[in-house]
């Protein structure tokens, strides 16, 4: 089946750019190809486009400043490590189930003699306020929070967590990964009382390879890439003007359809959950049942290996992703390490983790596509369940 006819339900991984975004980027690349730092007549038009995009994006979050980056991972890196570099050595807090963009900051944080503490999470992937409070202290330099979980869909209780941090570690920099939330749910830096947030363009129908770090008026960040001193000295390198314009266009579309998109994708997620649970009563939806992103549904069908289900559905034109990637031969008679750190953090054993898959939607996803997807998904899962060794499904239901 061709890509045009396939059903794409992996929008948490990346989204298809809007035609308006592609057109705006192409026009900018051709008409404003000058270096924004150039003093001759070709520089100012590019600079103007860049600053127009910056100002619009700044306004979408009530930010004091916007730093364009290569995407969400770099924005996380700059927000967390850049803030830590401005502070005396202390502790940096993050959750065990966080995205690798957050967790992989640990090695560089050690260069500034900061100690990373990875906090355990709940069975739904949330961060319990008591767990956070027990780890807080005045020596905490940075706290990193993943607002909307990319695999589980769980939304943190951000107001409660931020209140605790401000009370117990008032000088800590609070960084929020907003990659799955921006363009899906409303967010304001001042209202949230956080210092920085990371955004990635390709998660909301914008361009790949561009994102930004939004900063509050009180944020203090050290540059990690000096080069030519662009981005107000916080990130060197010739600016990606077409990418910034693409971000602006995508953000404008996202913000004007925020409520309707949330309702639409939530309805689609509920459709899939209901259909799967009707067919497989022992199936489970992962994540928090109340606080969750509208566009992500993470499911587990006992006795059905997620990767096998994904590959079989893909051959029939349905694309989604799995929650655990299992590699290499192993002895099923012995306990095995869970390959996916997220699923290990919420307490799933290796067998249960292999049965997880994730489906995610966009505002461009149609109800007809989801109905067709449900037919394919249920059909393939039923076939795999029938082939599973007797007892596997029952064992899975007890985990």
**Which is it for strands 356-360 and 140-146: parallel, antiparallel or unpaired?**
unpaired
At 276 the pLDDT is 97
CA distance 355 to 373: 18
At 110 the pLDDT is 85
Given CA atoms 393, 154, 295, 209 in this order, what sign does their dihedral have? negative
- Per annotation, catalytic residue among 32, 105, 313, 326: 326
At 323 the pLDDT is 56
Asked if 105 is an active-site residue, the reply is no
Q: Alpha carbon 13 to chain centroid distance? A: 8
Q: What is the pTM of this model?
A: 0.91
* pLDDT surpassing 50 at residue 397: no
At 83 the pLDDT is 95
CATH label, 19-256, candidates 3.40.640.10, 3.30.70.60, 3.60.15.10, 3.90.1170.50: 3.40.640.10
- Name the residue among 99, 93, 110 with its Cα closest to residue 71: 99
Q: Which fold has domain 258-398?
A: 3.90.1150
pLDDT-based confidence at 38, cuts 50/70/90? confident
* pLDDT surpassing 80 at residue 85: yes
Mean predicted lDDT score pLDDT of the chain: 90
- Name the residue among 212, 217, 360 with its Cα closest to residue 297: 360
CA distance 391 to 317: 31
CA distance 30 to 24: 10
Residue spans of the domains in the chain: they are 19-256, 258-398
Tokens read off for 173: 């920099």
- Name the residue among 184, 181, 207 with its Cα closest to residue 18: 207
Tokens read off for 396: 């899975």
């Amino acid at each position: 089946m061709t890509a045009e006819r396939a059903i794409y339900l992996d929008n948490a991984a990346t989204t298809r750019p809007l035609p308006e975004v592609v057109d705006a980027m192409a026009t900018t690349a051709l008409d404003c190809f000058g270096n924004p730092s150039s003093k001759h007549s070709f520089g100012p038009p590019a600079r103007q486009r860049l600053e127009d995009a910056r100002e619009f994006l700044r306004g979408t979050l009530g930010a004091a400043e916007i730093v364009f980056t290569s995407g969400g991972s770099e924005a996380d890196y700059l927000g967390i490590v850049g803030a830590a570099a401005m502070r005396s050595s202390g502790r940096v807090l993050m959750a065990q189930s966080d995205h690798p963009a957050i967790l992989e900051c640990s090695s560089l944080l050690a260069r500034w003699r900061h100690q990373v503490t990875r906090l355990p999470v709940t069975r739904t992937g949330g961060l319990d306020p008591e767990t956070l409070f027990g780890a807080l202290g005045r020596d905490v330099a940075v706290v990193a929070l993943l607002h909307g979980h990319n695999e589980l869909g769980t939304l943190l209780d951000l107001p409660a967590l931020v209140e605790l941090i401000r009370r117990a570690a008032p000088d800590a920099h609070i960084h929020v990964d907003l990659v799955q939330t921006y363009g899906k749910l409303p967010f304001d830096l001042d209202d949230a009382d956080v210092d920085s947030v990371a955004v990635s363009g390709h998660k909301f129908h914008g361009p790949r390879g561009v994102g930004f770090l939004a900063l509050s008026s009180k944020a203090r960040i050290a540059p990690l890439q000096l080069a030519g001193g662009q981005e107000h000295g916080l990130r060197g390198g010739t600016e990606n003007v077409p990418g910034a314009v693409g971000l602006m266009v995508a953000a404008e579309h996202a913000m004007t359809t925020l409520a309707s998109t949330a309702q639409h994708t939530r309805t689609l997620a509920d459709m899939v959950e209901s259909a799967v649970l009707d067919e497989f009563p022992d199936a489970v939806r992962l994540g928090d049942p109340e606080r969750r992103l509208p566009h992500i549904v993470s499911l587990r069908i006992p006795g059905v290996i997620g990767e096998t289900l994904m590959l079989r559905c893909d051959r029939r034109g349905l694309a989604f992703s799995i929650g655990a990637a299992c590699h290499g031969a192993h002895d099923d008679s012995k306990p095995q390490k869970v390959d996916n750190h997220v699923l290990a953090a919420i307490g799933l054993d290796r067998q249960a983790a292999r049965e997880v898959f994730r489906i995610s939607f966009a505002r461009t996803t149609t109800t007809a596509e989801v109905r067709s997807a449900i037919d394919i998904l249920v059909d393939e899962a039923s076939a795999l369940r029938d082939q599973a060794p007797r007892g596997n499904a029952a064992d899975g239901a007890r985990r």
